[in-house]
């Protein structure tokens, strides 16, 4: 099957030009003006923006959490991602304490293989670092193509590891050519504040936010960055939310050491005032929580300053019935927020259309940097000869509203209900196949491929 995309405004990190794209099979064969190829299918993209397929490196599909599972499966979640312009996601395999990394990987593979519609890869979350786990790191990197290892500095007694384990993991991961990432919040401080608020009978969603003050994230981000600097391990902070944590990343630059960092779309455009809506605030109970307006300003600046390389989602949806598990106690509300379908369009609407970021920066933080940092570039993350034909044709003038009534995520509410968006995904190609066209899905479950990733190298 060959496809010729004509007359679109093709935008990558480095280019912004009117051009044609010729695709054969799964790959891009040519990019240029007035291409003269005879194709099986011709798509006229005049007046449209043409982007590389989005990459969301932080999602949780069918994830066990607090006695339940996140409500999007690999089928529903990757389908929703495709509708929203995201062609590749990276999910988190969670090691069970006392069991092997391989045991966890087999579990996650059973959920994803043959069900995903979009392409996917895995991070390995290490929750029990010991000599047996250490011996598995090389296998994960070299045989499985899993090169990033997630750590939790919170969720004490379940997912959290201590600093001794962190240093041991960093040393081994560096040796094997990988990267360590962190949920960087101070678990001890958070546990103390949760217990304090519960003892005082303060049980509404607002106290989820008040149990995780900015200092809990700033301190842990600094500690993680310092340990990474000490060990020399490539490091990445997930879902960074606030000015204090951003300053920890900035300070590492002063020591000539780069810590990569992502933020998420919700932290750029939503704020903590939503927790004052009584129990409706449970819709936005996530960790870290939403922050203040001043933090939004800092994060947008951090994107433009190159301190934040990626805008992800931490997509982890729960049905409203699941959220009601915590109606009498905020600490029992499943943590998570649905956004996998909304990220691409919201980032364009709130970022590019409002003049906060350029088109090239949009491509950088929605696709290219994730491909580079996590070992998928140039196969993914750009529009270039020889790369996968993962392409989004985007109408910059189309205006629409986000709603649970129209989204494709398997969740019965929206964190952005009624939000007016400027710009809409029109057509999505995944490896040369039309996956989405005019709000219809054209691929079946099992279409997605697992993407093995390269060892960590020099990214920029």
98-131 exposure pattern, b = at least 16 Cβ within 10 A, e = fewer? eeebeebbebbeebbeebbbbbbbbbbbbbbbee
From start to end of 212-305, where are the E strands? 235-237, 260-264
What whole-number distance in Å separates Cα of residue 189 and Cα of residue 156? Answer: 10
Rounded average pLDDT over 420-437: 98
Tokens of 436: 């989405």
Give mean pLDDT, residues 9-19.
98
| pLDDT of 457 over the 80 cut | no
Range of the domain at 280: 54-373
pLDDT band for 362, please (50, 70, 90 cuts). very high
Query: In this predicted structure, what is the pLDDT of residue 348?
Result: 98
Position 289 scores a pLDDT of 98
Indicate the pLDDT class of residue 458, thresholds 50, 70 and 90. low
The reported pLDDT for the residue numbered 157 is 85
**Cβ distance 43 to 22 under 8 Å?**
no
As a whole number, mean pLDDT of residues 404-420 equals: 98
420 lies in some domain: no
Report the C-alpha gap between 435 and 268 in whole angstroms: 29
Q: Which residues of 59-83 are buried (b: 16+ CB within 10 A; e: fewer)?
A: bbbbbebbeebbbbbbbbbbbbbbb
pLDDT of 170 strictly over 90? yes
Asked if residue 393 has pLDDT above 60, the reply is yes
Residue pair 52/393 in contact (Cβ under 8 Å)? The answer is no
Quickly state the pLDDT bin for 32 (edges 50, 70, 90). Answer: very high
Determine the Cα–Cα distance for residues 100 and 230; give it in Å rounded to an integer: 27
Q: How many CB atoms lie within 10 A of CB 407?
A: 20
* Res 460 pLDDT > 60: no
Q: How far does CA 221 lie from the centroid of its chain?
A: 18
Task: Residue count of the chain, please give it.
Answer: 460
pLDDT-derived band at 459 (thresholds 50, 70, 90) equals low
How many structural domains comprise the chain?
A: 1
Residue 158's pLDDT is 87
- Rounded to whole angstroms, the Cα distance separating 154 from 216 reads 10
Q: What is the per-residue pLDDT for 109?
A: 97
d(CA 412, CA 414): 7
Q: Are 70 and 373 in contact (CB under 8 A)?
A: no
Q: Given a cut of 60, is residue 236 above it in pLDDT?
A: yes
Give burial (CB, 10 Å; 0-12/13-18/19+) of 416. buried
- Chain position carrying tokens 């998420």: 264
Share of the chain above pLDDT 90, in %: 97
In a domain, 7, yes or no: no
The answer to whether residue 223 sits within a structural domain is yes
Structure tokens at 69: 């599972």
Q: How many CB atoms lie within 10 A of CB 242?
A: 26
In a domain? residue 109: yes
Whether residue 15 has pLDDT greater than 70: yes
- Residues 106-121 have pLDDT tens digits of 999 999 999 999 999 9
Distance CA 244, CA 153 (A): 17
Beta strand ranges found along 12-158 (DSSP E): 16-24, 27-32, 41-44, 49-52, 54-59, 64-65, 68-69, 86-94, 119-125, 148-152
Cβ–Cβ < 8 Å for 197, 210: yes
Compute the average pLDDT of residues 297-323: 98
Q: Are 180 and 165 in contact (CB under 8 A)?
A: no
Residue 316 · residue 340 · CB < 8 Å: no
Calculate what percentage of the chain has a pLDDT beyond 70: 99
Q: What does the pLDDT look like over 96-149, one tens digit per residue?
A: 999 999 999 999 999 999 999 999 999 999 999 999 999 999 999 999 999 999
Question: Whole-angstrom distance between the N-terminal and C-terminal Cα of the chain?
Answer: 34
Q: What would the mean pLDDT of 42-71 be, rounded to a whole number? A: 96
What is the CATH number for 195?
3.20.20.140
Residue 72 falls inside a structural domain: yes
Q: Is residue 149 in some structural domain?
A: yes
Q: Is residue 285 part of a domain?
A: yes
125 near 150, Cβ under 8 Å?
yes
436: left (phi over 0), alpha (psi -120 to 50) or beta: beta
Q: What is the mean pLDDT of the chain?
A: 97
pLDDT score, position 65: 84
Assign 375 a pLDDT band (cuts: 50, 70, 90). very high
Q: Let me know if residue 191 belongs to a domain.
A: yes
Average pLDDT over residues 306-327: 98
Q: Are 151 and 180 in contact (CB under 8 A)?
A: yes
């Amino acid at each position: 099957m060959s496809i010729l995309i004509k007359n679109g405004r093709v935008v990558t990190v480095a280019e912004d030009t009117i051009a044609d794209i010729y695709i054969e099979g799964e790959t891009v064969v040519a990019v240029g003006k007035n291409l003269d190829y005879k194709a099986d299918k011709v798509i006229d993209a005049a007046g449209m923006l043409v982007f590389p397929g989005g990459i969301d490196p932080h999602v949780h599909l069918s994830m066990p959490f607090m006695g339940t599972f996140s409500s999007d499966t690999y089928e529903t979640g990757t389908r929703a991602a495709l509708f929203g312009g995201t062609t590749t996601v990276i999910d988190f395999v969670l090691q069970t304490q006392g069991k092997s990394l391989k045991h966890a990987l087999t579990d996650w593979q059973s959920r994803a293989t043959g069900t995903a519609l979009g392409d996917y890869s895995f991070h390995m979350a290490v929750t029990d670092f010991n000599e047996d786990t250490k011996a598995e790191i090389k296998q994960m990197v070299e045989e499985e193509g899993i090169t990033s290892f997630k750590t939790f500095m919170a969720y004490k007694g379940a997912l959290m590891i201590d600093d001794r384990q962190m240093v041991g993991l960093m040393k081994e991961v560096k040796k094997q050519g990988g990267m360590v990432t962190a949920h960087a919040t101070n678990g001890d401080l958070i546990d103390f504040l949760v217990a304090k608020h519960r003892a005082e009978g303060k049980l509404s969603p607002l106290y989820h936010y008040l149990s995780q003050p900015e200092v809990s994230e700033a301190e842990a981000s600094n500690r993680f960055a310092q340990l990474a600097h000490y060990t020399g391990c490539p490091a990445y902070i997930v879902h960074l939310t606030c000015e204090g944590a951003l300053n920890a990343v900035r300070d590492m630059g002063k020591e000539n050491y780069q810590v990569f960092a992502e933020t998420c779309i919700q932290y750029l455009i939503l704020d903590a005032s939503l927790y004052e809506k009584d129990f409706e605030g449970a819709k936005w109970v996530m960790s870290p929580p939403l922050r203040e307006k001043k933090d939004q300003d800092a994060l947008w600046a951090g994107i433009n300053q190159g301190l934040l390389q990626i805008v992800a989602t931490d997509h982890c949806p729960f049905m409203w019935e699941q959220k009601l598990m915590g109606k009498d106690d905020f600490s029992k509300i499943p943590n998570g927020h649905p956004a996998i379908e909304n990220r691409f369009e919201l980032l364009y609407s709130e970022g590019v259309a409002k003049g906060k970021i350029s088109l090239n920066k949009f491509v950088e933080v929605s696709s290219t940097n994730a491909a580079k940092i996590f070992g998928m570039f140039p196969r993914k993350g750009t529009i270039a000869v020889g790369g996968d034909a993962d392409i989004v044709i985007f109408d910059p003038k189309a205006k629409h509203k986000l709603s649970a009534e129209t989204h494709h995520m398997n969740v019965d509410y929206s964190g952005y209900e009624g939000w007016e968006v400027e710009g809409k995904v029109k057509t999505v190609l995944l490896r040369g196949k039309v996956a989405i066209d005019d709000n219809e899905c054209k691929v079946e479950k099992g279409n997605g491929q697992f993407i093995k990733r390269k060892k960590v190298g020099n990214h920029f």
